[in-house]
Structure 1
């Protein structure tokens, strides 16, 4: 009887522990304007690769995901102000950002590339090809630093959202847009992108250590749980299943760096 009672207590504790884990909510912060990684569907729900990965990680950690959207420029301050618990918004891991947040292991690598209007007559999109041209990109991104470092003879215009820059390119107010190649490829595949085409090669910004999930620096337990879940979904096939919904290439492959390209 004592053995049965002890077993019942242990089972009850296990059930309570599981219920507590499932009741725990992790608030996932994202932007919503970076398809196919994070964007709004016709019903206004945020969807995309980042969202599917986040949901898979929550399932692995036995917690509930709650999605919160915010503007890109203020996303790190919003995290540190406790508006949400993580940033999973295709954020590149850099030493500068790591001074104010902690990052998970990378869950993909993203190269950046130029799209130009017209017939693509701007050569290979080297700095000399784009001298005197107007280039747009989204503010507070690594692309800004690349343009400022290597394209000093071009006019650089910054936009709160990448969509705004692409609209100006489509309307002839920009000569080129520089951004993540996957996002630009998604845009070019739509009717909106009929005006334009890729030029040059995709590169990875200097200091870009891959795309990770950001958490507040004091949230060490959450960071460890996220890294464990990333490892688990990569090992059990869940990551590959999600990746294949969006891409037909290996997004863990590292593109060459901008210094390798332009120096």
Structure 2
């Protein structure tokens, strides 16, 4: 029995337990995403999962002839949930890092981006350096490469972890936080929205591969190398046939795949 058929057999009961899947005649694949990280994965006004990660997941599932069943999982529990067999893969803007790779297999990247720092519009902070942030509070989503980056690069600042980006954004709006670090695209989208008018991008930060990783990939269990390989072939296929570009252009004005 192939790994995909084993996954399908283990996943049949999931459709009865989640409202996110659409049943058809194809086997199901349980995909974890956060649902709180726009524009990559979040819920729309109707409560439906939307975003770049979600559309990419559906395109990849189509390529491997399976049906995505989405499981919403908080960020801190992503890898533990995968290892506990609550889902089969993570497609949630997860960076490919050495530390995570000790626990899971990653696919090739399906996009890449850079970290950035945001501050209130009237902030007196002039540079995103340790000296420039000394004595300041810097917010980041806990358990992310961005939190690790802030801790490593800005030791003179006070790192404040938050469960989701919305939490540190509200702190910035209310004047209770001096700065925050996150993905450049997420922050750029936010400061251009109504809720982000309080703030501005201070700087795009240099990538440190040891912290930021080698792009964004799909995580699977180490016992699922065939699934990883199937995803890799599917990523290459949607890049080649224009599907990736169609999804990309629905969200971004540039190729998010990177170099």
TM-score of the superposed pair, with normalisation by structure 2: 0.87
2:38 to 10, 21, 35: 35
Q: Report the equivalent of 2:219.
A: 214
Q: Report the equivalent of 1:10.
A: none
Distance 2:250 2:172 in 1: 29
Distance 1:192 1:61 in 2: 39
Query: In 2 relative to 1, CA 216–180 (structure 1 residues): closer, same or farther, beyond 3 Å?
Result: same
Q: In proportion to residue count, which structure has more helix?
A: 1
Looking at CA atoms only, which structure, 1 or 2, has the larger radius of gyration? 1
Structure 1 residue 118, shift from structure 2 partner: 2.6
Secondary structure (helix, strand or coil) at the match of 2:86 reads coil
Question: Residues 62-121 of structure 1, C-alpha deviation per residue, up to 9 Å, x if partnerless?
Answer: 111111101000110001111110000000001110011000000011211010013353
Q: Report the equivalent of 1:226.
A: 231
**RMSD of aligned alpha carbons:** 1.3
Distance 2:55 2:147 in 1: 28
Distance 1:49 1:190 in 2: 18
Question: Residues 198-221 of structure 1, C-alpha deviation per residue, up to 9 Å, x if partnerless?
Answer: 012233243211000000000111
Would you say 1:246 and 2:251 are equivalent positions?
A: yes
Distance 2:45 2:214 in 1: 34
Aligned partners of 2:96 and 2:215 also within 8 Å = yes
Distance 1:113 1:253 in 2: 16
Aligned partners of 2:184 and 2:204 also within 8 Å = no
Secondary structure (helix, strand or coil) at the match of 2:209 reads coil
Aligned partners of 2:140 and 2:180 also within 8 Å = yes
TM-score of the superposed pair, with normalisation by structure 1: 0.86
Secondary structure (helix, strand or coil) at the match of 1:52 reads helix
Q: Report the equivalent of 1:68.
A: 71
Distance 2:255 2:45 in 1: 29
Question: Residues 128-169 of structure 1, C-alpha deviation per residue, up to 9 Å, x if partnerless?
Answer: 111111110000001111111111111110011111011001
Q: Report the equivalent of 2:90.
A: 87
Ranges of 4+ aligned residues in structure 1 off by more than 6 Å: none
> Tell me, which stretches of 5 or more residues in structure 1 are unaligned?
1-20, 255-263
State how many pairs are aligned: 234
Structure 1 residue 188, shift from structure 2 partner: 1.0
Q: Report the equivalent of 1:26.
A: 29
Structure 1 residue 25, shift from structure 2 partner: 0.6
Would you say 1:119 and 2:122 are equivalent positions?
A: yes
